């Protein structure tokens, strides 16, 4: 695959807009999903009440003397709690599905900056070597890549942590109905705080990646200017989309 000077010079603005748009969509989805999480209401409390009533029913049934009145009351509480839990389950499912979509898009946005710098830093190095330009230009691109990767990887790890905390707060999977039916409520608090702090961190991480992409574009612009000057001195077409010294990838 041949990647030339003209391509990077003319197409960066489109890439920048796409990156900014995807980052904005990613943050909006995360914010909306935080709202959906709050909209689930008392799902956790209803599930806890259902588990507790279920434990009470089992205890009464296993008692030496069966108390039918207490059994009926406990079973009624379990039925009411189950109905309340099922009524809110649709909201929880929507929250989970949107969370998966938001997580995938967040990872995609961070991956775009990684892919961009892998390609452009290599391109800068090879073009600098091919045209015998100042090596500081390639070094500047490499430095920006090293500065960007921690933000991108940090953003990916952050969204994974938010999803993991969400899974731990699921009463149907990680609660222990027998020993501690309310354990998931603690994880729910951690999930909410993690989502708030994580979304803020992701916003800043996207901002830093965008700034580094812009700085790298300035480096590319300097390389383009030097290549055009050299090609003009050699009597070559400076706007040639496939110059003699192309970069293979």
CA–CA dist 57, 61 (Å, integer):
6
| pLDDT tens string 83-112 | 998 899 999 999 999 999 999 999 999 999
How many domains does one find in the chain? Answer: 1
* Residues ≥6 apart with Cβ < 8 Å to 148: 113, 114, 117, 208, 209, 212, 213
84 in a structural domain: no
- Work out the number of other CB atoms within 10 angstroms of the CB of residue 175: 22
Residue 113 in contact with residue 19, Cβ under 8 Å?
yes
pLDDT band at 17 (very low <50, low <70, confident <90, very high): confident
Residue 241, pLDDT above cutoff 70: no
DSSP state of 236: -
pLDDT at 193: 96
Report the share of the chain in percent with pLDDT over 90. 49
Q: What is the pLDDT of residues 71-80, one digit of tens each?
A: 899 889 999 9
Residue 66 within any structural domain of the chain: no
Other Cβ atoms within 10 Å of 108 Cβ, number: 13
pLDDT one-digit tens code per residue, 193-236 = 999 999 999 999 999 999 899 889 889 989 988 888 888 888 77
Q: Which backbone phi and psi does 2 adopt, to 5 degrees? A: -100, 125
pLDDT value, residue 100: 95
pLDDT at 62 over 90: no
Which letter does DSSP use for residue 21 in this model?
A: H
Would you place residue 52 in the very low, low, confident or very high pLDDT band (cuts 50, 70, 90)? Answer: confident
Q: Is residue 239 part of a domain?
A: yes
Residue 167 domain-assigned (yes or no)? yes
pTM: 0.82
In a domain, 81, yes or no: no
DSSP state of 219: H
**Higher-confidence position of 201 and 12:** 201
Domain of residue 173, residue span: 2-39+91-248
Answer yes or no: are the C-beta atoms of 212 and 204 closer than 8 Å: no
Residue 16 CA to residue 217 CA, distance in Å, equals 10
Q: Span 123-132, mean pLDDT?
A: 91
In a domain, 207, yes or no: yes
Q: Which residues lie closer than 8 Å to 75 by C-beta, 6 or more apart?
A: 53, 57
Q: State the Rg of the chain over Cα.
A: 28
Burial of 111-149, coded b for 16+ CB within 10 Å and e otherwise, reads ebbbebbeebbbbbbbbbeebebeeebbebbbbbbebbb
Confidence of residue 243 (pLDDT cuts 50, 70, 90): very low
- Three-state DSSP at 2 gives strand
Grade residue 10 by pLDDT with cuts at 50, 70 and 90: very low
Residue 232 lies in a domain: yes
């Amino acid at each position: 695959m041949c990647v030339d000077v003209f391509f990077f010079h003319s197409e960066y603005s489109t890439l920048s807009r796409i990156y900014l748009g995807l980052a904005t969509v990613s943050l909006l989805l995360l914010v909306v999903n935080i709202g959906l999480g709050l909209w689930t209401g008392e799902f956790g409390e209803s599930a806890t009440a259902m588990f507790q009533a279920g434990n009470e029913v089992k205890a009464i049934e296993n008692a030496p003397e069966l108390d039918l009145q207490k059994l009926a009351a406990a079973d009624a509480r379990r039925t009411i709690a189950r109905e309340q839990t099922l009524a809110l389950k649709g909201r929880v499912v929507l929250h989970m599905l949107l969370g998966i979509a938001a997580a995938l898009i967040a990872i995609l946005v961070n991956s775009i900056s990684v892919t961009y710098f892998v390609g452009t830093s290599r391109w800068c190095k090879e073009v600098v070597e091919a045209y015998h330009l100042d090596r500081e230009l390639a070094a500047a691109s490499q430095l920006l890549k090293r500065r960007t990767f921690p933000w991108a990887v940090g953003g990916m790890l952050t969204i994974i942590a938010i999803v993991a905390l969400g899974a731990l707060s699921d009463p149907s999977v990680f609660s222990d109905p027998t020993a501690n039916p309310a354990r998931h409520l603690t994880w729910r608090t951690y999930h909410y705080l993690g989502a708030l702090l994580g979304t803020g961190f992701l916003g800043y991480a996207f901002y830093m990646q965008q700034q580094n992409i812009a700085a790298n574009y300035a480096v590319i612009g300097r390389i383009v200017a030097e290549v055009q000057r050299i090609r003009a001195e050699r009597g070559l077409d400076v706007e040639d989309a496939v110059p003699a010294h192309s970069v293979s990838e």
